[in-house]
């Protein structure tokens, strides 16, 4: 008999899933409108600006949807592997959930009223209504409350089982939570101490360089906050779905440990073209950024080693014979696998973005937007969809039927096709034609250069339309799994590793060591650059007075 999560824990998980699916609908519609506006096929009413729907699309999908899904999934992961949540842990989950919901409602209201059209990054010099900033601060604070419940579950397991290896999923969740708390201190700082006082009129000016630096201290680690739950699925869940054992428990822990070390002190590589930061610190963070390639390659090796071992155990031979052994008729596998494939060109594009010289070529072009859609909007989101298709029926006590499974597979391939068309056009037009990002087509109306962009902008609209069809299919599958599928038990797949009984690498769970190394790398990477912003006037500031807020 399949052991399900408790009803109380399932209810907490599903609350997060409901918010995530609502965000998908709203953010997806905004994204569709963007592609039509950029292609010149649609003109928005004067009361709605392109940058308003851009802000909705970016914040609702990249910040809100991902945060709710990740926290909901991670609660299920610790409850499944470390035991049912305690009343305190569950209470923290619910408090965090409602604080985030209130914050989301406040921020979204200001964006929809066109009083917070500040794009996905929302740093200075763009200014929003104070309610927007308070709302975003509540989303961050709510997430801290939520993840604290997950960390307490892990700590409880360690206390009750001294000297015993912690469950791999619970360990991974805790690594991601610690990284999230440390990195989100940056965005919380700029919101609380810069943007809220500025929006209230308590200060005249803010230091734009500091605002951007604090955001990107958070912003690049945010990418790994999205990505690590997908890695959890690839490492631990996908092997169980195909009927195999994970390649290595210790390798997975080592990979996540390295992500904790190198995900945060790398944000300045997003600021390579900005003044006010010495080149030596830019290049230092470029080096640290490339260090993240190591755990990524470790992950790729582990995944395909798992697939090959499984295929050969079934008798498949040849270099790629094992490929045939994979369950291509199972949506729970197909969608995460499509996500893995998307991450290959997505990761390669990330190396271009992080390279000091090549970054100068593509920095302010729509290439970057295309890259973003290959990583978070393909590798991560496709994996999240695949996870939903077993997590939701597991929590609701229903079955993933042949019909919903087939519909889910169609949804996955539809998403992959739409994203290939849209992101491919973005990469090409950005690299070859120099088309800018964060810009509506109408901004350049009538210019010869803009005319050359039209066919590729239309391709983006075609891709966006296919993606929106895929979103409709996601909603259909979601409704079916929540309300219409027959009652039954759906497995929560958690694989054992080939080295399950091997002792854990000692320093992998030495949290004093992990925190010290993480903090030390952050201090080395950021102390001098941020210190300079307080001690040196920004470019062109001479004669503007003694104040340091510009």
Active site residues: 220, 224, 371-373, 437-438
Rounded Cα–Cα distance for residues 404 and 381 (Å): 18
The tokens describing 452, both together, are 């050359």
Read off the DSSP letter of residue 181: H
CA 428 to chain centre: 24
Largest CA distance in the chain: 77
- 487 in helix, strand or coil? strand
Q: Tell me the residue length of the chain.
A: 550
Rounded Cα–Cα distance for residues 132 and 146 (Å): 21
Is residue 68 within 8 A of residue 100, CB to CB? The reply is: yes
Give 419's contacts (C-beta < 8 A, 6+ positions apart). 342, 373, 374, 377, 378, 463, 467
Read off the DSSP letter of residue 547: -
Count of beta carbons in the 10 Å neighbourhood of residue 339: 28
- 452 in helix, strand or coil? helix
- 260 in helix, strand or coil? helix
Is residue 62 within 8 A of residue 376, CB to CB? The reply is: yes
Rounded Cα–Cα distance for residues 374 and 370 (Å): 6
DSSP per residue over 236-254, as a string? IIHHHHHT--BS-HHHHHH
130-160 vs 66-82: helix axis angle to the nearest 10? 10
The tokens describing 244, both together, are 């195999």
- Phi-psi region at 491: left, alpha or beta (left = phi > 0; alpha = psi -120 to 50): beta
Q: Compute CA distances 138 → 14, 176, 188, 218, 526, whole Å.
A: 21, 20, 9, 16, 26
Rounded Cα–Cα distance for residues 309 and 302 (Å): 10
Residue 223: CA count within 13 A, CB half-sphere? 28
Question: Which candidate, 416, 408, 294, 280, places its Cα nearest to that of 347?
Answer: 294
For residue 487, which phi and psi values (nearest 5 degrees)?
-65, 145
Give 294's contacts (C-beta < 8 A, 6+ positions apart). 258
Is residue 64 within 8 A of residue 21, CB to CB? The reply is: no
Rounded Cα–Cα distance for residues 477 and 415 (Å): 14
Q: Which residues pair with 497 in a beta bridge?
A: 246
DSSP per residue over 401-457, as a string? -HHHHHHHHHHHHHHHHHHHHHHHHHHHHHHHS-PBSS--GGGGTT-HHHHHHHHHH
Rounded Cα–Cα distance for residues 63 and 30 (Å): 15
């Amino acid at each position: 008999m399949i052991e399900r999560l408790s009803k109380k824990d399932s209810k907490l998980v599903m609350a997060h899933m409901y918010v995530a699916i609502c965000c998908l609908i709203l953010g997806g519609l905004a994204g569709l409108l963007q592609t039509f506006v950029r292609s010149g096929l649609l003109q928005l009413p004067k009361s709605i600006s392109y940058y308003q729907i851009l802000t909705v699309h970016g914040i609702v999908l990249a910040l809100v949807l991902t945060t709710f899904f990740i926290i909901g999934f991670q609660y299920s992961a610790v409850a499944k592997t470390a035991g049912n949540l305690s009343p305190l842990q569950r209470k923290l989950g619910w408090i965090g959930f409602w604080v985030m919901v209130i914050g989301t409602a406040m921020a979204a209201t200001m964006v929809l009223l066109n009083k917070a059209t500040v794009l996905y990054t929302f740093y200075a010099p763009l200014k929003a209504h104070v309610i927007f900033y308070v709302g975003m601060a509540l989303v961050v604070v709510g997430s801290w409350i939520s993840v604290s419940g997950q960390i307490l579950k892990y700590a409880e397991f360690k206390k009750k089982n001294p000297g015993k290896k912690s469950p791999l999923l619970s360990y991974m969740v805790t690594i991601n939570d610690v990284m999230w708390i440390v990195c989100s201190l940056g965005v919380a700082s700029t919101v609380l101490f810069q943007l809220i006082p500025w929006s209230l009129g308590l200060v005249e000016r803010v230091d734009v360089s500091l605002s951007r630096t604090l955001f990107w201290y958070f912003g690049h680690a945010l990418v790994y906050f999205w990505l690590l739950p997908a890695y959890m699925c690839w490492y631990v869940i996908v092997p169980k779905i195909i009927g195999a054992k994970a390649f290595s428990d210790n390798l997975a822990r080592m990979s996540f440990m390295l992500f904790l070390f190198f995900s945060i002190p790398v944000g300045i590589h997003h600021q390579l073209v900005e003044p006010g930061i010495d080149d030596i610190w830019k290049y230092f963070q470029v080096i640290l950024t490339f260090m993240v390639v190591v755990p990524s390659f470790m992950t790729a090796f582990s995944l395909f080693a798992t697939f090959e071992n499984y295929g050969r155990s079934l008798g498949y031979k040849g270099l790629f014979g094992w490929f045939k052994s994979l369950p291509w008729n199972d949506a729970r596998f197909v969608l995460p696998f499509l996500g893995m494939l998307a991450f290959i060109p997505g990761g390669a594009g990330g190396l271009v973005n992080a390279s000091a010289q090549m970054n100068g070529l593509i920095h302010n072009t729509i290439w970057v937007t295309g890259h973003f859609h290959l990583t978070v909007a393909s590798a991560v989101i496709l994996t999240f969809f695949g996870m939903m298709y077993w997590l939701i029926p597991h929590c609701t006590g229903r079955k993933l039927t042949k019909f919903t499974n087939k519909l889910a597979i169609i949804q996955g391939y539809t998403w992959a096709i739409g994203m290939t068309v849209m992101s491919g056009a973005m990469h090409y037009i950005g690299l070859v034609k120099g088309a800018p990002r964060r810009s509506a087509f109408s901004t350049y109306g009538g210019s010869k250069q803009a005319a050359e962009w039209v066919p590729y902008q239309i391709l983006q609209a075609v891709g966006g339309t296919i993606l929106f069809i895929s979103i409709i299919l996601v909603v259909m599958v979601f409704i079916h799994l929540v309300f219409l599928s027959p009652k039954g038990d759906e497995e929560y797949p958690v694989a054992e590793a080939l080295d399950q009984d091997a002792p854990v690498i000692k320093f992998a769970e030495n949290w004093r060591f992990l925190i010290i190394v993480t903090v030390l790398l952050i201090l080395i990477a950021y102390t001098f650059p941020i210190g300079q912003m307080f001690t040196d006037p920004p470019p062109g500031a001479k004669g503007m007075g003694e104040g340091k807020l510009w």
